[in-house]
Amino acid sequence: MSSDNERALRQRLDSALDTITPAPAPVSTVLRQGRALRTRRQVTVAAGLAVAAAVAVAAPGLVHHLGRQAPISPTRKPVVTVNPIGAGAPRGLIGSGTINGRKWRLIADRPGTNGAAKHGQCFETSGAASGGLACGDLLTSNVAGGVGFDGLGNAYYGVPSANVTRVTVTLYGGTVLVLHPVQAYGQRYFAFAVPPSLAIARIVAYSQQAELSYSIPFHSGIGSVVSLWLRPGQRGLPRAARTIGSGTVDGTTWSEAVHAGPWGYCLTGELNDCFGTQTASLGNRITGYTGKGAKAAFWTTGTATAAVDHIRVALSGGLSIRVRAVQCDGPKFFAFAVPKGHRVVRIDYYSASRHLILSQTARQVYS
Amino acid sequence: MDAAAEAEFSDFVRSRWPRLVRLGYGLSGDLGIAEDLAQSALVKAYASWPRVHRAGDPDAYVRRIVVNTSRSRFRKRRVIEQLSGTLPEPGQPDLTGQRDQRSALMAALLSLPRGQRAVVVLRYWMDMTETEVAVILGCSVGNVKSQASRALAKLRVSPDLIEGPMDGQKVEGKSHEQR
């Protein structure tokens, strides 16, 4: 089809559709129905916390991002409850309960709706003033995530495998939540919520007969991340932490650290990611980047194999940065900041003897 | 939502309403359904307005809902159609011929599979990039390209458009009958 034909089609569409005269905008009806829908959902949206969980299914390479959220005051011990979901519950309601007497609910949207991708699903919290929503590719990856809401708490949801009949969540302080999967949209879910400041000590998935798997989440102070599931009796990585990069860029002081432990490897700093794996090497690759705008400074994190000693980052304008690869338990990690006005041209991985191991162009790295 | 946000949302509804209805019409070929699609998208946008607003592109959000709702509507369509024993009111005569042209184009559009139709409307009427269309439809850019290519090939030889082919040329060997 030639561009002439495309232009002709555009013209015909314009003349056909632009001549449609709709009725006046039903503003009051939209507002009324919107209020009713919001009340029905009791949705609250807040600063988001995205966390991840997988029950009975370890998800290697799973990466999740932590949002920033002010923790509630830990001056008194939070009281957290989870209610059983009854048969007459609204469709999509997968969890409800209270945090310090304030009610929360977590509602699963119909898969593929409300802004979710084709195979994705959105989850919405409710209970306070304005709430949160998180969407993910839940249906295909069998992983789970979480949603923050209103500073009150972080709601966590999971999709258990078929043989899971019960999930227990032990919080620091000794509270144990017992959850039973509920059905919605032909899938089973479990959900719970805890205050951001309250760490989750352990999550265990059980079948009718026995424990199937357990997870020890990573707690960053603003919420817990569930990224790795272990078999009963399996020991996770020993706990360790290393700074993998720090400095000042455009007047901003930054620092990135990696924390190894039974959760796998989690980064904190500019990029808050977790790698739900215990492997000794995560390869030579960029794992994430973030910035505060197209023309602002941005940060990049990556992993390197044992043979890599340092990374040289070639920037536009003839600049280059030399970054040391820092070992934490098995894998090596690195982080660097790019000043505003510059872009990455190439990243080269070198051994201690300055032998070039791998060279990647910016297109390969950031595409 | 406070009063200021509600006023802002009301302005959003008024300003976006015609274009959303037209998008719905392009996808459904029915003005009533188009208005329903636009209205339900805006209702959902209201319910999630703080998040939608924060995301920075409320237009993309409501467009996506219109498209997705339109697609799910087709799955239910069979059961909501009702037969009537009385004829509907006669329409007004179209002195400009505009409605005939529109009908021909809509008939051709409606003959396309709904995925291809969505690509045509988003790509060639809304002037969205292939990447933007891919995001809304939840598919790859390559898929958008192939859908667009197939759709354009079908439209080019569509009997509904033969009387006024897109490039001004008649297509040989095709029936001119209206379906």
Report yes or no on A13 lying in a domain: no
Report yes or no on A306 lying in a domain: yes
**How many whole angstroms separate alpha carbon B23 and alpha carbon B125?**
8
Helices and strands in chain B, H and E counts: 8, 0
A6 to chain B: which residues are within 8 Å by CB?
Answer: 124, 152
> Based on the domain organization, do A205 and A71 belong to the same domain?
yes
> Based on the domain organization, do A207 and A260 belong to the same domain?
no
> Based on the domain organization, do A178 and A327 belong to the same domain?
no
Query: Which of A169, A202, A225 represents a domain boundary (last residue)?
Result: A225
Q: For position A326, what pLDDT does the model report?
A: 94
> Based on the domain organization, do A353 and A305 belong to the same domain?
yes
Tokens representing A14 are 């314009």
| ipTM, interface predicted TM-score of the complex | 0.73
Report yes or no on A12 lying in a domain: no
Report yes or no on A7 lying in a domain: no
Name the residue in chain A with its Cα closest to that of B45.
Answer: A34
> Based on the domain organization, do A136 and A181 belong to the same domain?
yes
Return the domain boundaries, chain B.
Answer: 1-75, 97-169
Cross-strand bridge partners of residue A310: A324, A350
- Determine, for residues B64 and A19 on separate chains, whether the beta-carbon distance falls below 8 Å: no
State the pLDDT confidence band at A357, using cuts at 50, 70 and 90.
very high
Range of the domain at A271: 240-366
Q: Count interface pairs A-B at CB distance under 8 A.
A: 132
CATH number at residue A297: 2.60.40
> Based on the domain organization, do A206 and A101 belong to the same domain?
yes
Nearest alpha carbon to residue B109 among B163, B168, B169, B151: B151
- DSSP SS3 for B10: helix
**What domain count does chain A have?**
2
Domain at B97-169, CATH class: mainly alpha
Query: Which of A225, A252, A277 represents a domain boundary (last residue)?
Result: A225
Question: Which of B18, B48, B155 is nearest residue A22 as measured by Cβ atoms?
Answer: B18
> Based on the domain organization, do A220 and A247 belong to the same domain?
no
Paired sense of beta strands A52-53 and A144-149, if any: antiparallel
Report yes or no on A24 lying in a domain: no
Q: For position A3, what pLDDT does the model report?
A: 66
> Based on the domain organization, do A207 and A264 belong to the same domain?
no
> Based on the domain organization, do A266 and A214 belong to the same domain?
no
Q: For position B137, what pLDDT does the model report?
A: 80
> Based on the domain organization, do A206 and A303 belong to the same domain?
no
Most confident of the ranges A58-72, A148-162, B115-129, B160-174:
B115-129
First and final C-alpha spacing in chain B: 50
State the pLDDT confidence band at A356, using cuts at 50, 70 and 90.
very high
Question: Which of B14, B21, B61 is nearest residue A20 as measured by Cβ atoms?
Answer: B21
Give the mean model confidence (pLDDT) for residues B76-97: 40
Tell me, yes or no, if B105 comes closer than 8 A to chain A by beta carbon.
yes
Tokens representing B149 are 């290519």
Nearest alpha carbon to residue B44 among B29, B30, B58: B58
Percent of all residues in chain B with a pLDDT value above 90, rounded to a whole number: 1
- Determine, for residues B44 and A37 on separate chains, whether the beta-carbon distance falls below 8 Å: yes
